[in-house]
Chains A and B, each alone.
Chain A
Amino acid sequence: MYDIRFTVNGQPEHATVPATMTLLDLLRDRLALTGTKEGCGIGECGACTVLLDGKPITSCLMLAVEADGHDIETIEGEAVGGGLSVLQQAFIDTGAIQCGFCTPGMIMSARGLLNRTPDPSDENIVEAIAGNLCRCTGYEAIIAAVRLAADRLAGAKQGRGQS
């Protein structure tokens, strides 16, 4: 067993885990953060995407012990203070959610993109979510959602700048 310390959505956490546990299992089964989904378990679908030190990774391909000393962000960290995040609202407004299974992973990939590229081109968006499979929407609405969120965030920033 291994003692690890890390943060999840800014909260310090401590856990004792076996070497063979994935970060995904730690989040879902130990911390009851079931927003992060398991699709394939082998890095292909992106449903398990979380941010590791601000960067999207697939949590099924990382051991829980490897999270020691790192910052993890999950979909549960998106809605702050009970309100939806700009990204979440944009996904609703463009109809980018059908069954919703891919959505947490999509939003985390989009969050990672907006962290590094606040004004992404459609090509940037497609590249960022290429590792997230969606079997329902056909992707167009998802790309529109990320665009809309980027525009709204830029607008908010500009608004703040002017006032």
Chain B
Amino acid sequence: MLGNFEYKRIRSIEEGCQYLAEAAGDGAVLAGGTDLLVEIRNGLKSPQLLVDCKGLDVLNVFSVDDSRSTIGASVALNQLIEHRVFRTTHPALADALASIGTYQLRNRATLVGNICNASPAADAAPVLLVLDAVVEVAGVEGPRTVPVRSFFAGVKKTTLKPDEIVTAIALPARSGLRTAFRKQQRIRGHDLAVVNAAGAYSPAKKVLKLAIGSCAPTPVLLDPIEVDSKDNEAFADHVIETVLRAVSPISDVRASAGYRNAVLPILVKRILHELLFEGSGA
């Protein structure tokens, strides 16, 4: 038995928002449950009400194309990873999702749950940040959208209101972007990232976006970096310096701050190689 809560399988998003509003902060949306049920079991959370949206068809769909992609809140990670067009359209996001947990877990876990959980180590977060993803939200006062860069408020905290449900994540046009994801972890499938990072490079605009996870209370999106240097080595040093100034890693159960500071430049270099120095890349 887990905790002490009621369970509602909702028939409309409005109904779900209403239940959450009535629970006044003591309610939680149940998606895959792979974070929520563990936290309830470990006593870290004790919601009185779980609102299950998985019965709603509107949240169980995704559409992918070059101009815009939308991923519904109930779509399981494996549905995306195993979708050929998704993988080729958003390779870095597919890599990040495929690196999450185990096969069994990815049959339940969702992309929306990954960011709503707001772990600093959430693997989807850096990629969504560099892709300028937008979070679509429903609440008792109606729908709104939140750029993912304004979504995280702290460790395990988002800017969602207690009555709000994320309905989908929208990804804007890819417009020739090259993207990459890198992750350092201790044990594949059984641990979170020690450091993760994503990059998106626009060859047309010569602008690089980088985002770093597990090195601050929230995933960090750096200001866009102009790529004008002819000297790869000097450019890499400049980027690494900028990255290290933007983060504030701590020592925790997974790694020391020193280790994170040492690994981060390596991941950033690998991303630069893939996106800029090797020429090709996805």
Known: A25-B1, A61-B37. A130 touches B108 (CB 8 A): no
Interface centre among B7, B54, B188 (most CB of A within 10 A): B7
Dominant SS among interface residues on chain B: loop
Minimum distance in angstroms from B80 CB to a CB of chain A: 14
Q: Is B2 close to A, CB under 8 A?
A: yes
Known: A19-B6, A56-B107. A66 touches B54 (CB 8 A): yes
* A-contacting residues, B161-206, CB 8 Å: 188-190
Residues of A within 8 A of B6 (CB): 19
Q: Is A65 close to B, CB under 8 A?
A: yes
Convert A53-73 into 0s and 1s, putting 1 for each residue whose CB lies closer than 8 angstroms to a CB of B. 001111001110110100000
* A-contacting residues, B1-60, CB 8 Å: 1-7, 9, 30, 32-34, 37-38, 41-42, 50, 52, 54
Contact of B105 among A52, A128, A131 (CB under 8 A): A131
Contact of B103 among A2, A21, A63, A130 (CB under 8 A): A130
Residues of A within 8 A of B30 (CB): 63, 66
Contact of A61 among B33, B50, B54, B190 (CB under 8 A): B33
CA A55 to CA B78, docked complex, whole Å:
10
Is A131 a contact partner of B103 (Cβ separation < 8 A)? yes
Convert B64-102 into 0s and 1s, putting 1 for each residue whose CB lies closer than 8 angstroms to a CB of A. 000000000000001000000000000000000000011
Residues of B within 8 A of A41 (CB): 41
Contact of B1 among A18, A62, A65 (CB under 8 A): A18
Q: Which residue of A lies closest to B102 (CB)?
A: A131
Q: Show 7 residue pairs from A and B whose CB-CB distance is below 8 angstroms, ordered by the A residue.
A: A19-B6, A22-B2, A44-B190, A46-B102, A46-B104, A58-B104, A61-B34
Is A61 a contact partner of B107 (Cβ separation < 8 A)? no
Q: Which residue of A lies closest to B78 (CB)?
A: A55
- A-B Cβ contacts below 8 A, count: 84
Q: Which chain B residues have a beta carbon within 8 Å of chain A's beta carbons?
A: 1-7, 9, 30, 32-34, 37-38, 41-42, 50, 52, 54, 78, 101-105, 107-108, 188-190
Is A131 a contact partner of B52 (Cβ separation < 8 A)? no
Residues of A within 8 A of B102 (CB): 43, 46, 58, 130-132
Is B189 a contact partner of A131 (Cβ separation < 8 A)? yes
Q: Which residue of A lies closest to B105 (CB)?
A: A43
Is B3 a contact partner of A62 (Cβ separation < 8 A)? no
Is B4 a contact partner of A20 (Cβ separation < 8 A)? yes
Contact of B104 among A2, A18, A20, A56 (CB under 8 A): A56
Is B37 a contact partner of A63 (Cβ separation < 8 A)? yes
Q: Is A151 close to B, CB under 8 A?
A: no
Q: Is A127 close to B, CB under 8 A?
A: yes
CA A95 to CA B105, docked complex, whole Å:
28
Is A62 a contact partner of B190 (Cβ separation < 8 A)? no
Is A61 a contact partner of B108 (Cβ separation < 8 A)? yes
Minimum distance in angstroms from B179 CB to a CB of chain A: 23
Is B5 a contact partner of A43 (Cβ separation < 8 A)? no
Q: Is A109 close to B, CB under 8 A?
A: yes
Is A19 a contact partner of B7 (Cβ separation < 8 A)? yes
CA A44 to CA B2, docked complex, whole Å:
17
CA A133 to CA B101, docked complex, whole Å:
13
Interface centre among A20, A41, A43, A44 (most CB of B within 10 A): A43
Q: Is A74 close to B, CB under 8 A?
A: no
Q: Which residue of B lies closest to A48 (CB)?
A: B104
Q: Is A49 close to B, CB under 8 A?
A: yes
Minimum distance in angstroms from A62 CB to a CB of chain B: 6
Minimum distance in angstroms from A5 CB to a CB of chain B: 13
Interface centre among A22, A25, A130 (most CB of B within 10 A): A130
Q: Is A42 close to B, CB under 8 A?
A: yes
Is B7 a contact partner of A2 (Cβ separation < 8 A)? yes
* B-contacting residues, A137-161, CB 8 Å: none
Residues of A within 8 A of B104 (CB): 43, 46, 49, 56-58, 109, 131
CA A10 to CA B3, docked complex, whole Å:
31
Residues of A within 8 A of B7 (CB): 2, 19, 63, 65
Residues of B within 8 A of A18 (CB): 1
Convert A104-117 into 0s and 1s, putting 1 for each residue whose CB lies closer than 8 angstroms to a CB of B. 00000100100000
